[in-house]
A and B are shown apart, each in its own frame.
Chain A
Amino acid sequence: MRLLDRLWGSFPAVLMARRNVARAKTRSALAVAVILIGVVAIGAIGAGGVAFQESQFETLGSIGADLQVFPGEDNEHGYLSAADVGRIDRVSGQAEIVPLNRENADAIEGGSTVGTATLYGVDDPASLYEVREGSIPANWRSGVLVGSTLADRYDLRPGSKVTLGRTTVEDGRTVRRTEEYRVKAVLAQAGQADIANPNQAFVLPPSEFDDGAYAQVIVRAEDATAANETAMEIKRTFNGRRQIVSVFERGDIAEQIDEAFRLINLFLVGIGAISLVVAGVSIANVMLMSAIERREEIGVLRAVGYQKLDIVRIMLAEATLLGALGSLLGGAVTLAVVAAINDALLGDPFAFPTGSLRYVAAGMGFGVIASLIAGIYPAWAAARERPVEALRG
């Protein structure tokens, strides 16, 4: 006896199931096909959803647990003062804070305005931005950093010169200042939701701005919970009846976006799951037909001493075998489909996000379980039949 025969001999129910699956090839193939479709529906929709979410986050940029503190609508100055920044720093505890100046400016070329841009004043740009070309000077006193979109538009590189014109108020008079700056670095493209998005902006040292007039203060909290507490604390400190500051919790947004994606994905996977229910019904149908077709055969098995539960086991092994076949093939097809989705959305076919493989595995698991469950009734119906009736034909 060969080893393989011995192995099969240890699983007689599987041996019979395997032969029966092979007997009605077309029918088995169709049953496997529906399971396969069900598994692909769940796996590909789920994993595709994860890839889509991933790709959306790539465009949005990181939405961390940061807080943004802006002047509130009852703030007389319309800006946050140095004293305000100090108070924010105090109530924020360990969290790093980044005060930000903001103004509008004109880009000037050859004496005429060629466009408008945002000016940010940042004390420590390295904490906010990444650099595409050049470098941020360690001693950041002069020069300008250029956002990627502007750099491309005006063809600016580290070392180029740019002329900016802006209107400021000095000693109660409105003054038009035009100054030339040397580009120190071009910043990397930032996501749409990134804080103080620099793509369309020039970043200057804070000394270029009015002292103590900040457009916003960013508080880099450790996590969403800390951010929430800090936000409450800041509001308590500044706002009584009047809204001196407004606090924007980015963690909230991140959570809401996550939740929205999760719900959409769950909904889609639910639709996919329906196809697996259909697959289960089809397996039940196949198994019932098989049971009816093999009525006499099962009668013989019962006559020669197979217990009802033995029959149930053989039939369930058959249903599970169909499910396992469908799930394995379905898993392979799903991986291929997800790889295609990854390629399209994330630019790399093998960039399987963490959650994505989980959906593939879940699809395969459900495929087997659905088949097993679908096999229960036909198996029981076959086992319940009295051998005398079955043998009578």
Chain B
Amino acid sequence: MTGPDDSATVDGADDAADPDTGSTPGSAGEPAADAQPIISGRSVVKAYVTGGETVRALRGIDFRVDPGEFVAIVGPSGSGKSTLLNMLGLLDVPTGGVVELEGVDVETFSDAERTRRRKETIGFVFQSFHLIPTLTAVENVEVPRLLDRTPARTREAATDLLERVGLGDRLGHYPDELSGGQKQRVAIARALVNDPGLLLADEPTGNLDRETGDQILAEFDAITDEGVAVVTVTHDDYVAQFADRVVNLIDGTVRDDEEAVTG
């Protein structure tokens, strides 16, 4: 990911030529140079009008996320992290620049189309889990597919996913019967139920202790091995260290990775 003032791009597209696929800052997981990014942006600007003032949350940034990489977006509060995550999740559209999902400009999508694409391609893990309290663990995982009217297949997929995240014995539990780590794992299973290409996680370990956080990170690692890109917004250095690539966002622009500011 790069800012416009960073003419020398530091994102995966250029580094992909490098056979080193380690966790060198600025390099992607394992993309080929000509591989299509799952999502990319050019000169993306997002401005809000709040209280008569125009706030420029993103000031023209470039980014790309390739399949299978684990990207951590860090930066202080108000740096535009959440805005960027919303943009990646098609929950928001830029006021300037272009965002492309699998090579298609999201601007061309209607609201319904964007919603459909979101469902097909993107999984969300929210900071405070956002499980639906009236539904059991397995039903929560099923939520994104509930309206598909394939109850048997959906139940099977949801059960598999919960077993995979180690909650095979908690299928019928309601969220208030689960610990924080268990809830987050249910949330991850929910994010994966539609086999997304991109998983977006907002402070996925924010409400968890270190040990539970480790489990979640290990889970993300396993997911990226299957070619799913994981992008997480975090305040946590520990998570940033775990990532293939760290994008440091300050005041709506991307800073050089070496000067990463977290917290």
* Contact surface of A with B, Cβ cutoff 8 Å: 1, 5-6, 8-10, 12-13, 15-16, 19-20, 22-23, 296-297, 299-308, 310, 386-388, 391
Contacts and interface: CB of A to CB of B under 8 A. Distances in A.
B147 A304 contact: no
B126 interface: yes
Contacts of A299: 130
A15 B152 CA distance: 15
B119 A305 contact: yes
B151 A303 contact: no
A386 B116 CA distance: 15
A305 B151 contact: no
B130 A300 contact: yes
Nearest to B140: A300
Contacts of B112: 307-308
Given A9-B151, A19-B135, A305-B118, A391 B146 contact: no
A391 B89 CA distance: 13
Contacts of B154: 9
A5 B152 CA distance: 9
A22 B130 contact: no
Contact of B120 (A13, A297, A302, A305): A305
B59 interface: no
Contact of A302 (B115, B132, B135, B194): B115
B132 A1 contact: no
Contacts of B132: 16, 297, 300
B149 A10 contact: yes
A349 B170 CA distance: 54
B219 to A, nearest CB: 18
Interface string B212-241: 000000000000000000000000000000
B96 interface: no
Interface in B132-169: 132-135, 139, 143-144, 146-147, 149, 151-152, 154-155
Q: Can you list the 10 inter-chain pairs with the closest CB atoms, starting with the nearest?
A: A305-B119, A9-B151, A19-B134, A12-B146, A304-B144, A300-B130, A388-B91, A23-B134, A303-B124, A388-B86
10 contacts: A1-B151, A5-B151, A5-B155, A9-B149, A20-B134, A299-B130, A307-B116, A308-B111, A388-B86, A388-B92
Contact of A304 (B92, B139, B149, B190): B190
Nearest to A305: B119
A13 B151 CA distance: 13
